[in-house]
Amino acid sequence: MQKASELRVTHPVRVKVAVFVALVVAGNTGLKIARMPDFDPYHVDQAAARFAELARSLPARGTFGYVRDPLTPDTAAAGVAQYVLAPRLLLSESAAVPIVADFPEAWHIYDFARSRGLRIVREFGQGVFLLSKRDR
């Protein structure tokens, strides 16, 4: 009987070539992934920074209204705001008070608020506001 050190397994050349090609492809893919920039199509990190001061000023739990700048369409913005402010619940429009306002282009928030009977309670910068219903 042969010793284990004397056993020699030989593979056909095509198997060796296939293993070599697989290793090269895997290595190339790994390099591409390592060089890939962070991918955040919804800008969640930016939104978290924008809403950070607001989040610190709100109770940790609760229900709040949410309005988005109608002149800056972004279908994912409400979901991103909900995500970064969780576990708080955001309801669309002004169904609840206080109201979180997301106006990246803040120049027309004043007309928007006035036309809907709202007042600005506090501005947090970067287009983030806290609104309430105007006293009648």
Question: pLDDT per residue over 58-83, tens digit each?
Answer: 999 999 999 998 887 777 889 999 99
Q: Is the pTM of the predicted complex or chain greater than 0.85?
A: no
Could you give the CA distance from residue 31 to residue 129 in angstroms, rounded to a whole number? 43
pLDDT 10s digits, 12-66: 888 788 888 888 777 777 666 656 666 778 889 999 999 999 999 999 999 999 9
| Total count of domains within the chain | 2
One domain, residues 58 and 28: no
One domain, residues 56 and 30: no
pLDDT 10s digits, 75-107: 788 999 999 999 999 998 766 789 999 998 878
One domain, residues 28 and 73: no
Structural domain including 19 reads 4-35
Q: Any residues with CB less than 8 A from the CB of 132 and at least 6 apart, and which?
A: 97, 98, 99, 118, 119, 121
One domain, residues 24 and 76: no
Q: Any residues with CB less than 8 A from the CB of 112 and at least 6 apart, and which?
A: 67, 69, 70, 101, 103, 118
Amino acid identity for residue 111 in this structure: D
